[in-house]
Amino acid sequence: MRGGGIAYIDVLRYLAICLVIALHCVVGYVNDTDMYGTGTWWLCSIINSFGRMGVPVFFMLSGFLLLSGSGALDIRAFYKKRFLKLAAPFLAWDAVYYLEGCAVRGSWAILPFFQQLVQQGSKYHLWFIYQIMGLYLLTPFLKKIVDHSSTRELLVFLAVVLLQPTVFRLVNVVQPVFHIAPFLALVEGYVGFYLLGYLLGTREVPPRLRRAIYLLGIVGMAGGTWGNYWYSSPEKISFYFSEGYSVMQYMTAGALFLFMKEYGGRLPRRAADWARGLAGLTFGIYFVHVLVLDLLVAAEGHLASGVPLAGWVVINILLVIAASTCAAFLFSRLPVIRRLI
Short-list 203, 272, 251, 287, CA closest to 21: 287
> Of the spans 18-22, 172-176, 302-306, which averages the highest pLDDT?
18-22
What pTM was computed for the model? 0.94
Q: What's at 15, amino acid-wise?
A: L
| pLDDT reading at 21 higher than 90 | yes
Residues 133-154 have a mean pLDDT of: 96
CA-to-CA separations, 76 to 72, 81, 83, in angstroms, rounded: 9, 9, 11
Angle (CA) 13 17 18, round 5°: 115
Q: What percent of the chain has pLDDT over 90?
A: 78
pLDDT in tens, 110-131: 999 999 999 999 999 999 999 9
pLDDT in tens, 262-282: 988 778 888 888 999 999 999
| pLDDT reading at 4 higher than 80 | no
What is the crossing angle of helices 151-162 and 191-202, to 10°?
A: 160
| pLDDT reading at 1 higher than 90 | no
Question: For 301-317, what is the HEC assignment?
Answer: HHHCCCCCHHHHHHHHH
pLDDT in tens, 71-114: 999 999 999 999 999 999 999 999 999 999 999 999 899 999 99
d(CA 16, CA 13): 5
Mean pLDDT for all residues in the chain = 92
Domain boundaries, the chain: 7-340
Residues 179-204 have a mean pLDDT of: 91
| pLDDT reading at 3 higher than 70 | no
d(CA 89, CA 286): 11
What is the per-residue burial (b if ≥16 Cβ within 10 Å, else e) of 225-255? bebbbeebeeeebebbbbbbbbbbbbbbbbb
216-220, 264-268, 288-292, 311-315: the lowest-pLDDT one: 264-268
Residues 44-58 have a mean pLDDT of: 95
Contact 198, 223 (CB under 8 A): no
Q: What is the CA radius of gyration of the chain?
A: 20
d(CA 25, CA 51): 10
Residues 29-53 have a mean pLDDT of: 94
CA-to-CA separations, 269 to 27, 97, 257, in angstroms, rounded: 36, 38, 21
Bigger pLDDT: 6 vs 194: 194
Bigger pLDDT: 301 vs 96: 96
